[in-house]
Amino acid sequence: MYTRTVLILLAIACKGMAQAPGGVTPQLKMWIRADQPGTITATAGKISAWRYLNDATKSFTASGTDQPDWQTNGINFQSSARFSGEHIMNGPAGVNAPIPAGDDDYSLFIVWKSSYTGDQGERLWMQWNCVTQKNGFSLDTYYNGNFFYGGQFEISPYNQGLKQPFTPGTWNISQLNLQNLATKDFEIIDQKNLTTTPLLLSSNGTSSNTARNILTNYQVLGAKCDKNDQGFHGDIAEVIIYDRPISGLERTKVFSYLALKYGVSLPGFNYQASDWNGTTGTIFWRSNATYNNDIFGIGRDESATGSLLNLPQSNSLNTGSGNGAGQTGKGNVILSASLDNGDYLMTAHNGQALTQTTAGLPSALAGTKRLARKWLVQNTGDVDAMGLTFDINGLTLSGDLTNPLNFVIVVDLDGDGDFTTGRLRYFPANTITGSQVFFPNIFFPNGVVFTITTQFPIQLLSKPEPPVARPGPSAGEQVYPNPFRNETHLKLVLSGRQKVACRLFNANGCLMREWGLEGRNGNNAFVLEQPGNLPAGIYSLMVYYNKQLHVYKLIKE
């Protein structure tokens, strides 16, 4: 049997760390994340210990058949803990329980998915006195003609809670907030009502303090006291508990962090980074009334007061999946890039159909078909050359769907979404693997709009002056000799030390050669090795440098 043990790396889970969800640190009592291997102990994919990220001395534990499964691509390339209905993990109790005894103000955030479609209740997380089965609180689900989840007060004789409908098999970001007010003191917030009115509950209509008396005897994940009672069937990716209510700007920052990380779209919502203090800071996605569908992106927030987040690859859960496989007919987009701290790149589309049109393109692209759908990009920081994968599975498209050069990202640099005016930039695809079309070395400035061609006139790539909006080359930039016989040279003036990507295509759009070059600031001279065995003919040399794509016509004698 293949066995893998994940070791505990205390260096990233030290007590007293300054990082916190969305940068919201005060009174953070519990923070567990399945995406941090250093906090998971797993053998053969079975989790035996799940340590707090904010306090490595505390952990949930399980043994034998109680252990949940560790899913490495459970949600948006992130890990999750999967419970089968017969798994349970026991956490710190007594004085180490996250909610102190008798507490009447706290906040629970959880990222979860239930796959259960039966009519029995489930318990995701709970803290209470299992012996007398009262005096506690849990996050539960139940069926009453529809599926609901919410906070259940385990206090006889009240047994009241506040419920929100959910769809089995879909991921949820949920917050249960107890505000310790006399009336309407408990609320549920999730991605469905975050930008509208929260669901509120008055626990007994008089005083919250007389309705609850939280005890600390037990704390468990995945069941009600033992695995034979209301076991949870589903995944948990992250659980966060504060010993106080979380609302306003702090709630916005926590939800922004969770939505970005897990690919959950929040329409009508401004995503705010952890450095936001109410007057200065970063809004890395500003809500847009037109481009408000399937919002997602990549980002890195690993500053001393950040979220300990590095998300270099992402897709929207509305169109994709945990491992990037696209849902049929949804046109899933995957973004990928190497990021510096403080870099974010977000995108959303305008809701148009994934059908072909010839409208809205310049005359230089006569004969081109593009998707009716358009995407807006908001780039924060300095996200450099990146990759984009587009899934054509289930789409009805004409043209040669095996030729990568039929697929070109057309970028409208002025951002008004009108591709017949202003400056355009083009990024052809490199490969097609199965139904996934991959575009490398893309640069998206902030505020641009792009679409994707599905039938591109390849002959345009052989023109001496291709339809690429760019500054003209300086005197120090040239390809020589041209025509060539055995080898050719490339002279470039670079704006700084960088990688230069070169690809050589024949007149039919087939990739013949590819080079990855390292350049320095100023004048550079490269030898493109061994192109001499190519057949005679016309070729297109595509060179990406200075954050722009340049195309040169070459003739082989």
Question: Which of 406, 421, 456 is the last residue before a domain boundary?
Answer: 456
Residue position matching structure tokens 């009502």: 193
Q: By the 8 A CB rule, do 348 and 288 touch? A: yes
Whether 116 and 191 map to the same domain: the answer is: yes
Angstrom distance (rounded) from CA 545 to CA 10: 41
Q: Rounded to 5 degrees, what angle do the CA atoms 89, 93, 97 make?
A: 105
Whether 432 and 292 map to the same domain: the answer is: yes
Whether 336 and 236 map to the same domain: the answer is: no
Count: domains in the chain: 3
Whether 446 and 501 map to the same domain: the answer is: no
Whether 400 and 368 map to the same domain: the answer is: yes
**Full domain range(s) for residue 44:** 10-242
Residue 365, pLDDT score: 81
Residue 504, pLDDT score: 80
DSSP string for 287-352: --SSS-EEEEEEEEE-STTS--EEE-EEE-TTT--TTSPPPTTS--EEEE----TT-EEEEEE---
Whether 349 and 213 map to the same domain: the answer is: no
Q: By the 8 A CB rule, do 402 and 432 touch? A: yes
Angstrom distance (rounded) from CA 52 to CA 91: 10
Q: What is the CATH number of the domain that holds 295?
A: 2.60.220
Please list the pLDDT of the chain residue by residue as tens digits (557 residues): 233 333 223 333 333 447 999 999 999 999 999 998 889 999 999 999 999 999 999 999 999 999 999 999 999 999 999 999 999 999 999 999 999 988 888 999 999 999 999 998 999 999 988 877 678 889 999 998 999 999 887 765 444 567 899 999 999 999 999 887 666 678 899 999 999 888 887 655 454 445 567 889 999 999 988 888 899 999 999 999 999 999 999 999 999 999 999 999 999 999 999 999 888 999 999 999 999 999 999 999 999 999 999 999 999 999 999 999 999 999 999 999 999 999 999 999 999 999 999 999 888 787 889 999 999 999 999 898 899 999 999 999 988 899 888 899 999 999 999 999 888 888 889 899 999 999 988 989 999 999 999 988 765 544 433 333 333 344 457 888 877 877 888 888 988 888 888 888 776 667 778 888 889 998 888 888 665 578 877 777 878 788 777 777 777 87
Would you tell me how many other CB atoms lie within 10 Å of the CB of residue 439?
Answer: 20
Whether 76 and 210 map to the same domain: the answer is: yes
Q: What is the C-alpha R_g of the chain?
A: 27
Q: Which long-range contacts (CB under 8 A, 24 or more apart) does 264-267 make?
A: 264/171, 264/173, 264/191, 264/317, 265/191, 265/293, 265/294, 265/295, 265/296, 265/316, 265/317, 265/318, 265/348, 266/191, 266/194, 266/195, 266/295, 267/195, 267/292, 267/293, 267/295
Q: By the 8 A CB rule, do 540 and 513 touch? A: no
Q: What is the CATH number of the domain that holds 533?
A: 2.60.40.2550
Nearest to 503, CA basis, from 455, 555, 471, 540: 540
**In this structure, is residue 385 part of a structural domain?**
yes
Residue position matching structure tokens 């953070």: 28
For the chain, how far is it from start to end, CA to CA, in angstroms?
59
**In this structure, is residue 228 part of a structural domain?**
yes
Whether 226 and 290 map to the same domain: the answer is: no
Question: Which of 398, 426, 456 is the last residue before a domain boundary?
Answer: 456
Residue position matching structure tokens 């504060």: 242
**In this structure, is residue 468 part of a structural domain?**
no
Whether 221 and 301 map to the same domain: the answer is: no
Question: Which of 421, 456, 491 is the last residue before a domain boundary?
Answer: 456
Q: By the 8 A CB rule, do 196 and 209 touch? A: no
Whether 131 and 66 map to the same domain: the answer is: yes
C-alpha to C-alpha distances, 65 to 70, 89, 116, 185, 228, nearest whole angstrom: 14, 11, 20, 39, 12
C-alpha to C-alpha distances, 302 to 202, 238, 456, nearest whole angstrom: 39, 18, 41
